[in-house]
Amino acid sequence: MAVVQAILDGLMIGGVYAVISIGLTLVFGVMGIVNFAQAEFLMLGMFVAYYAWAWLGLDPLLAAPLAFAVVFLLGAALQHMLIRRVLKAPEVAQIFLTVGLLIVLENAALLMFGSGFRSVSTPYQTSSLQLGPLFVSVPYLAAFAMSVASGLALWLFLKSSWFGRAMRATAQDPMAARLMGIDADRMHMLAFALGVGLTAFGGAVILPYLTASPTVGTQFAVLMFTVVVLGGLGSVAGAVVGGLAVGIIQSLSALVFPIQLQNLVLFVVFIAVLAFRPKGLLGAAR
């Protein structure tokens, strides 16, 4: 029964991992760069939600759209000012531009918010539901539900809106998309803003069970890379599968290993996948 419970817990956190990682894979799929600073936007989302709670008394789940909106705008600005300039540059420039951005965002947060840990209190924080012999913690369930909702919204957007289709076209064949009158620059801006905004949304919904701090991103950085590499870099559907898989691997390994070694299992899986299936477990599907 402990195993079933662990799989259930893993699914709950895995749903969140999927949503925070979709942004990373979206940016890679459309623009061909890996955003090493992606996890910092999760941190920013957590802080937006934290201040919305502290100043306005807003529940983090309700503040999630606000976190999305704020970080969406920030992402559009960063894409326009910085990322756009290295899209055709050598990989070393692309890698270290986003690494520089990571350092700047983390330390700017340290200056603005201080190094302390911030947490919110909500009425449902410690409650849990019982399903026969299994338990589901309410904040985890809520974060999972919000993640599924935002994932579905993104899917609908990509599938049926003009912008979504234009964005997918840009990812598939930038030249053809340009010939059809799609402005690639605008699509890149939209993809980057949407990508980091979605990650910030995920940051907000996990605030009821995690504490925010300027360095919280480091906990998530390699985890997010593992998710997207498992599913295949650039594949949105892959990120969903990868997110759930990582959640389950993490909670199953918690049954066997001490807590400090949980991430170790993840890193080993990550390196193994990179080494043997660099296109992801699902193959090269986009």
Partner 1 sequence: MSAPSLRQAAGLALLAALAIALPFAFEPRGYGIRILCLALLFAAMAQAWNIVAGLANQISLGHAAFFGIGAYTSTLLLIHFGLTPWLGMMAAAVLGGLAALLISLPTMRLRGHYFALATLAFGEVMRVIGNSWGGLTGGPVGISVPYAKPSLGLMQFADTRASYWLMLGALVVVTVIFVAIKENADAAEVIGVDTTRTKIVAAVISGALTAALGTLYAQFQFFFDPDTVFGVASISVRMAMIAIVGGIGTAAGPILGAFFVIPLEEIANQVFSAQAAGLSQLVFGVLLILVILVEPRGFMAIGPRIRRLLRREER
**Residue 119 contacts partner 1 per CB under 8 A:** no
Give the separation between CA 138 and CA 124, rounded to whole angstroms: 6
Indicate the burial class of 130 (C-beta count within 10 angstroms; 0-12, 13-18, 19 or more): exposed
CB nearer to partner 1: give 62 or 274.
274
Stretch that binds partner 1, among 13-21, 29-37, 160-168, 238-246 (CB under 8 A): 29-37
Residue from 21, 25, 94, 122 touching partner 1 (CB under 8 A): that is 94
**Residue 79 contacts partner 1 per CB under 8 A:** no
CB of 56 to partner 1, least distance (A): 27
Backbone angles phi, psi at 136, to 5 degrees: -125, 125
CB of 274 to partner 1, least distance (A): 5
Residue from 254, 274, 281, 282 touching partner 1 (CB under 8 A): that is 274
Stretch that binds partner 1, among 44-52, 151-159, 166-174, 264-272 (CB under 8 A): 264-272
Stretch that binds partner 1, among 44-52, 154-162, 214-222, 246-254 (CB under 8 A): 214-222
Give the separation between CA 181 and CA 192, rounded to whole angstroms: 20
Are the C-beta atoms of residues 71 and 198 closer than 8 Å to each other? no
Residue from 56, 77, 108, 152 touching partner 1 (CB under 8 A): that is 108
Cβ neighbours around 278 below 10 Å, total: 11
CA torsion sign for 106, 107, 111, 117 is: positive
Residue from 54, 77, 104, 153 touching partner 1 (CB under 8 A): that is 104
Tokens of 145: 């539900």
Give the separation between CA 47 and CA 63, rounded to whole angstroms: 10
Stretch that binds partner 1, among 42-50, 127-135, 189-197, 225-233 (CB under 8 A): 225-233
Give the separation between CA 265 and CA 45, rounded to whole angstroms: 27
**Residue 284 contacts partner 1 per CB under 8 A:** no
Residue from 278, 283, 284, 285 touching partner 1 (CB under 8 A): that is 278
Give the separation between CA 101 and CA 170, rounded to whole angstroms: 25
74: closest CA among 249, 181, 193, 243?
193
CB nearer to partner 1: give 113 or 155.
113
Residue partners of 165: CB distance under 8 A and separation at least 6: 158, 159
Angle at Cα 45 formed by Cα 41 and Cα 51, nearest 5°?
A: 140
Tokens of 74: 């920030």
Stretch that binds partner 1, among 124-132, 151-159, 175-183, 257-265 (CB under 8 A): 257-265
237: closest CA among 171, 155, 145?
155
**Residue 255 contacts partner 1 per CB under 8 A:** no
Residue from 3, 176, 271, 284 touching partner 1 (CB under 8 A): that is 271
CB of 67 to partner 1, least distance (A): 22
CB nearer to partner 1: give 144 or 270.
270
Cβ neighbours around 176 below 10 Å, total: 11
What does the binding site for partner 1 look like in residue numbers (CB under 8 A)?
28, 33-34, 36, 82, 85-86, 89-97, 99-104, 106-108, 110-111, 115, 214, 218, 222, 225-226, 229, 233, 258, 260-261, 263-264, 267-268, 270-271, 274-276, 278
